[in-house]
A and B are shown apart, each in its own frame.
Chain A
Amino acid sequence: MNDRLRGHVDVLLLAALEAGPAHGYGLAELVRERSAGAFDLPEGTIYPSLYRLERKRFVASRWKTVEGRRRRVYRLTAGGTQELERQRSEWRDFTRAMEAVVT
């Protein structure tokens, strides 16, 4: 399953951030929970993806102290929300077409 995630990590992270700002570990947990454990992201891939999303200005981040620990918290930007919508729409078209052919 994890091999199939390649190329989809960015959109999974954007979708997870839609729920609200979170740090890297929190995002990995959220994706794992939402997929009922099916998507167990290789955790080391999360940060390069987050840096890429930040470079594209789809997410923004800053250090925050939470419960006495300093954490870098990421949040979705307006551009990120638009990008998520675009990717969602593409994904729906793709799954609809796949379903029509495969099932």
Chain B
Amino acid sequence: MTIDAYLAELERRLSWTGRRRALPEVKEHLRDAASRHCEAGASPFEAEEAATRDFGPPGEVARRVDGELAVRETRLASVLALVATLTFVFPLYVIPENTLPPASWAEVPADIHALQRVSIGLWLLAGGLAVVSVLLALTRRPQLAGPALVATAIAITVATAAGSAGALRWIQETPSNPNHFLSAPFAALILGACVLAALWARSTRRRLAAATVSG
């Protein structure tokens, strides 16, 4: 395989992070190795063949590189997930508490009350899961943090959905409120971020599971 073909194959198999980090280094490495083979008397084509063969199969190299980089990513993601979960106190509690209009009822309707409880309960669960993912990410088997990260993202997503539904129901009950436009786009933004986080966590988990991580 020529160096260009090898790099193209490696690029195809590496994650975005892996491509950014490893490809320029591998390219330089292969050029050095091919030069050495040329100096030893090989033709340019033979030299490139030997350099790429000595480097190892692109699939195996990509798996190892991504596996190692995913460890760092997972640790960072776990900490970010914990910080993000803590900041969700704002969209789930502080903002609704300060923007929703004063209630016109003596007692909170049962469905709104249930949605509030689900939202807060899942937020607490997400916090617990985020702590677990941080702890697992710091062990010698960080790939175990993957499922906890995904569960954190799901819990936050459902908590946000329940919180948003509760806020909308609240607004329905008090339609004169001028502030409800503030909460809807904000909730949509958070929801979108959660979905992206869940997708990212899922892809990281897949890469971690495929990799042999030696700690």
Contact = CB atoms under 8 A, between A and B. Distances in A.
A binds B: yes
Interface stretch (A12-20, A67-75, A84-92): A67-75
Contact of B56 (A23, A42, A52, A71): A42
Given A51-B21, A52-B214, A72-B24, A43 B72 contact: no
Contacts of A72: 24-25, 28
Interface in B19-76: 21-22, 24-26, 28-29, 32-33, 54-57, 60-61, 64-65, 67-69, 71-72
Contact of B54 (A24, A43, A51): A43
Nearest to A42: B56
Summarize B's interface: helix, strand, loop or mixed.
Answer: helix
A47 B214 contact: no
Contacts of B64: 44-45, 47-48
Interface residues of B, number: 24
Nearest to B67: A48
A48 B28 contact: no
Contact of A43 (B21, B24, B55, B71): B55
A45 B56 CA distance: 8
Contacts of B65: 47-48, 51
A94 interface: no
A44 B214 contact: no
A23 B24 CA distance: 12
Which of A43, A45, A70 gathers the greatest number of chain B CB atoms within 10 Å?
Answer: A43
A93 to B, nearest CB: 21
Summarize A's interface: helix, strand, loop or mixed.
Answer: helix
Interface residues on A, range: 10 to 19
Nearest to B63: A48
B67 to A, nearest CB: 7
Which of B32, B57, B65, B71 gathers the greatest number of chain A CB atoms within 10 Å?
Answer: B32
A25 B33 contact: yes
B68 A51 contact: yes
Contacts of A51: 21, 65, 68-69, 72
A52 B69 CA distance: 8
25 contacts: A23-B25, A23-B29, A24-B25, A25-B29, A28-B29, A43-B29, A44-B55, A44-B61, A44-B64, A45-B56, A47-B25, A47-B26, A47-B65, A48-B64, A48-B65, A48-B68, A51-B65, A51-B68, A51-B69, A52-B215, A55-B72, A70-B24, A71-B25, A72-B25, A72-B28
